[in-house]
Copies of this chain bind each other. A is one copy, B any other.
Amino acid sequence: MSDSGLEKLLNPSSVAVIGASLTKGKIGHDVLLNIKESGYKGKIYPINPKDTEVMGYKAYPSVLDVKDDIDLAVFAIPAPAVVEVMKECGDKGIKAAIVISAGFKETGPEGKKLELELAAAAKKHGIRVLGPNCLGFISSTIHLNASFAATSPLPGDIAFFSQSGALCTAILDWAVKEKIGFSKFISLGNKADISETDFLRALGEDPDTKVILGYIEDVKDGHEFMRVAREVTAKKPVIICKAGGTKAGAKAASSHTGSLAGSEVAFDAAFAQTGIIRAATIEDLFDYAVAFSYQKLPKGDKLAIITNAGGPGIIAVDAVERSQFAKVAPLAKETTDYLRGKLPKTAALNNPVDVIGDADDQRYKIAVEALLKDPNVNGLVVILTPQSNSKIKETAEVLVANRDDKPIFTSFMGGKLVEQGVNILQDNKIPNYRFPERAVSSFNTMVKYKNILGVPREAAKPFKVDKEKVKKIIDEAVKIGQKEIPEYLARDIIESYGFRLPKSVLAKDAKEASKAAEKTGYPVVMKIASPDILHKSDVGGVKVNLKTAKEVEDAFNEMVQKAKKAVPNAKIMGVLIQEMVTGGKEVILGMTKDAQFGPMLMFGLGGIYVEVLKDVSFRVAPITAREATEMIEGIRSVALLKGVRGEKPADIESIKDSLLRLSQMVTEFPMIRELDINPLKVFSVDQGGSVAIDARISIDIK
């Protein structure tokens, strides 16, 4: 963990407990006791101005009184005293601190101020701080329990970080009962300094951690979080339960894209793009965790089921068929032939293999061995219901003895009758689930991660674009404080990034208009050009299918007149005379900004598909070529682009190209706040290409 920046936190040679107390029930007491009892091999310094000795350790009034170096300081003193002592820690040369103390941001504006002071003091002295307002930090690697948790975790290779300290105490207590062990157990607290991203990076490099779990409510720096997550998920599974945010959204958005986005959508996109597995519930988090911790990844998606009970077997198959990735393994003929010779006549030999209610351990053994040998099988779910003939303990032992590179998931269903068997499974790290659906969903998640590992992650190649031109337009808009870029300039911007536009000329009077139309070729579309008129249709500012010079000239005069009446002070630049594009499928491309992840791209079919059915997909920019494809494939109505009822398919490559160009644009110009290209008309593959009919761009003005 050399470059994680958290070395002194993760691997301290010595720990000072600031506020170490003799009084039971005080946090300063519980923390020191935990450190003492956890078997930590480093030096321990209670800091406490009143006592000379605490729990057998020599106590010091201040860290400054300790002669030797101190690597880590754990704060268990009231919030108002923390900042001063932090400065002392700085003077002492301490490089890591855990601030357990509450009374900061979570208490209101004053606490928030205190937290900022704390962060500033720490930063000034180069101290990395976990917390404040946290339960602490536990490492099985170095046997250090620097927390005030009442329960110590079992050792294991699962790391867990949590933005909720109270959830930590519940999980610790629960995990002991379920015999789930941890390599690191981290309460993030208020994240004044160290964040989920720091731990993601550190745990990614931690050889003692096989699976990383997290509970978060937000991220501190979405961009950095994604960058680090991409690297870490390529090495080990990262499973996160993200809570909060369902209510959010509802920001006043003027674009389609903005109104359809929201923080949940952003997190879903960010997780999908970085390969983080999102757990819907805390229960799922640990279901998946044990699957990954205890077993190797399956080599494929084919699952076999063994059961001594028809019903639960059917339940399991249902779960496989409903799952996103798992498939019911078609057993090899050799397997069924073999089983036919070995199992009773009434046994079911296809998947699920039903060894029948009176199966003992030996019958399970036959089935387990045969299915693990079957090349069509990548994983096994073994279901047992307690029957009079069941040999539950022995069946568990059969599974332990036969474990293999292929993952095995069990569901020994029941209570007291199966307890002994479940204990054997847990002790030997075969993941057991109370109900078969959970076993199947864990296999499904392992397949999902296997697929994630197989995804190429190279960034998209940049297009050659006229960046200078765009910069000029945007700078000018910033200068004059114009939040909405006028349409004719918005057109210039996207054209500079390689979008094809309808031929278009700005006409300043009726004569110019008809001349432009002759040049463009009839029929034409006419649009009022004014920076002050956004909803052009509402003021009669759009006319289509104009076929003669007379029609164009009359339209010009009428439009300008109406526009002036509707928006008296509007500055009218003239009327755009545009080629009328016929044919093609209408899609919408858009961008809006998420508070945590920045620019988010949107894709959907135009018209009712976006407005009514809200059938759209999002990704955080910049996107890769593969992510562009995923965006297109991610809408329900994608079949309409591929051609239905004998239609030719639309030029999907052109959409992909457009999304990638848009991605580059919003990445290169972060001051773009919202954008809709609506519609982009996409032609059929034989015609090829696409034309951006209309574009709206708004920018951030301070």
Contacts and interface: CB of A to CB of B under 8 A. Distances in A.
A464 B528 CA distance: 58
Contacts of A224: none
A150 B107 contact: no
Nearest to A310: B164
B309 A166 contact: yes
A281 B283 CA distance: 15
A321 interface: yes
Contact of A644 (B148, B177, B217, B612): B612
A311 B415 contact: no
A132 interface: no
Nearest to A162: B311
A388 B357 contact: no
A414 interface: yes
Contact of A174 (B165, B315, B413): B413
A156 to B, nearest CB: 15
A197 interface: no
A637 interface: yes
A470 to B, nearest CB: 32
B434 A283 contact: yes
Interface stretch (A41-49, A239-247, A565-573): A239-247
Contacts of A311: 162-164, 166-167, 215, 217, 243
A173 interface: yes
Contacts of A167: 309, 311-312, 385, 413
Contacts of A281: 315, 435, 437
Interface string A569-584: 0000000000000000
Interface string A245-285: 11100000000000000000000000000000000011100
Contacts of A169: 385-387, 414, 417
Interface string A365-390: 00000000000000000000111100
B310 A174 contact: no
A175 interface: yes
Contacts of A165: 309, 357
Interface residues of A, number: 73
B415 A175 contact: yes
Contact of A315 (B243, B346, B435): B243
A676 interface: no
Interface in A591-630: 608, 611-613
Interface string A146-185: 0010110000000000111111011111111110000000
Interface string A321-362: 110000000000000000000000110000000000100000
A166 B435 contact: no
Contacts of A215: 311
Contacts of A315: 241, 243, 281-282
B322 A644 contact: no
A314 B414 contact: no
Closest 8 CB pairs of A and B: A164-B311, A166-B309, A177-B415, A173-B414, A170-B413, A246-B321, A170-B385, A167-B311
17 contacts: A25-B388, A162-B311, A166-B311, A166-B312, A167-B311, A167-B312, A169-B417, A170-B418, A173-B414, A173-B417, A178-B415, A246-B322, A247-B321, A281-B437, A282-B315, A611-B645, A612-B639
Given A27-B388, A243-B314, 18 more contacts: A30-B388, A106-B346, A164-B309, A166-B308, A166-B310, A166-B311, A166-B385, A166-B387, A167-B385, A170-B414, A173-B415, A175-B415, A243-B318, A246-B322, A281-B435, A612-B639, A612-B640, A613-B636
